[in-house]
Amino acid sequence: MQQEMLPLFTSVDLFAGCGGLTRGLEDSGFRCLAFNEINKDAANSFSLNFPDAIRLDGDIRESVSNEIIETQILPVAGENGVDLVCGGPPCQGFSGIGHRRSFDVEKADIPTNHLFQEMIRVINKIQPKAFLFENVQGLLSSKWTKKGVNGEIFRDVWKAFSSIKGYVAQPTLIHAYGFGVPQNRPRVMIMGIREDLVKSLKIVPTNFDPDVPSDKFQKQLRDNGGFFPKWHGSTAPTIPEAISDLEYDDWKEDEIYHRLPPNSNFQKTMRRKLGRVFKKQKITDHIVSNHSKKVRDRFQYMIDHSVTNIRNLPENMKTKKFSQKLLPKDWGDGNPTITCCSNSDDYVHYSMPRALSVREWARLQTFPDHHLFSGPRTTGGVRRAGNPDKGIWDREVPKYTQIGNAVPPFLGKAIGKNLVEIFFSDSK
């Protein structure tokens, strides 16, 4: 039976990273026309996977100027224009990790924290059918200065996006585990849809009151439907269901193919574009860190004694790391608790005394095995986080961080499918 063709819509991805959101959008029927990313390694990753997208490297203010939009993006969009402008502007200091590493500088003084205004400029210039802003959950409670009011940043961001002329906007707090992602990964999103589409299709956005205290935001926004897909509990596989076919630690770069067959539906999905014969399915990025005996002994102790966090280790085994967690084999109450991974040893394998490989971490973010990554595996903490106290804003973005920063493709696909239904309804 011939497979039904998906309707094809177009997108422009800003602050695109390694392409997690675009990967999900592509799987739901979108084609990326152009992308912007300031970091070379992340941009290289994106281009490896979406080579037909126009690459607009560098600071968005220059690389996606109004002139470039007119001369490079709009001409390839054709008469129908761009269907979706999406992006996740940098969130330095908004996430939980960011709070611990925000130094003494005020968030108002971090230049990248104002780049959402540039995204609005691009939206106004392109005039897509819809736009999608995404960011970390910590945005909901963040304040511009230490003397500021909790939630003031999100209120400003919401006011800016909801004031874009010609669009109806709605925010949400969406959890990736509700869409088959084997981790918790909450994301704050704001979607805007052109007023004429909202009226003609009778789409009803869910109301949001920004004047309530910020600690009430989550209750208003979580799984609030409207422009966004709803979920019903967790549909996430367990960690073993996600990565048990990668349960070995002696892989080398010259080993081309998977050793083991997939043993879960999730693993089959991750390999779906690698061919049917598992011995000919290619694998990349499964190198694991060469831990010292002391580190491996500590990890083995965590496994043997079910120590979920290094802070609960005996005093003689504790390290200076503020967090290092043992991956669970089961979710327990059904709510995955993994949130992010930006370093090679943030998480310990559930049965082997080692950290995760890049490929394993990509699996937990639902990047399929054919998605490629460019750049170093990891790098030092300061080089990865920058040093705002000294005015150092540039940050290295190794593979682990690229993946950790990304929107999980499964979540992107769910968002995309919801939009496709809206757009396809309009074309009938």
Task: Please identify every residue annotated as catalytic.
Answer: 91
| Dihedral sign of CA atoms 207, 211, 213, 215 in order | positive
Instruction: Give the amino acid at 351.
Output: S
Counts of helices then strands in the chain (DSSP H, E): 17, 9
Tokens of 244: 């048990």
Tokens of 282: 């290619």
Orientation of helix 409-427 relative to helix 20-28, angle to 10°: 40
Tokens of 222: 């979580």
Mind giving me the DSSP string for 166-232?
A: TEEEEEEEEEGGGGT-SS--EEEEEEEEEHHHHHHHT--PPP--TTS-GGGHHHHHBT--TTS----
Quote the CA–CA distance of 351 and 328 in Å, as a whole number.
9
Residue 176: φ, ψ to 5°: -65, -30
Burial of 323 (0-12, 13-18, 19+ CB in 10 A): middle
The answer for residues whose C-beta is within 8 angstroms of residue 1's C-beta and 6 or more apart is none
Neighbours of 146 (CB within 10 A): 8
Quote the CA–CA distance of 270 and 368 in Å, as a whole number.
4
What percentage of the chain's residues is helix, strand, coil (to nearest 5)? 40, 15, 45
Nearest of 335, 336, 353, 354 to residue 344 by alpha carbon: 354
Three-state SS across 97-153? HHHHCCCCCCHHHCHHHHCHHHHHHHHHHHCCCEEEEEEEHHHHHCCCCCCCCCCHH
Quote the CA–CA distance of 232 and 225 in Å, as a whole number.
11
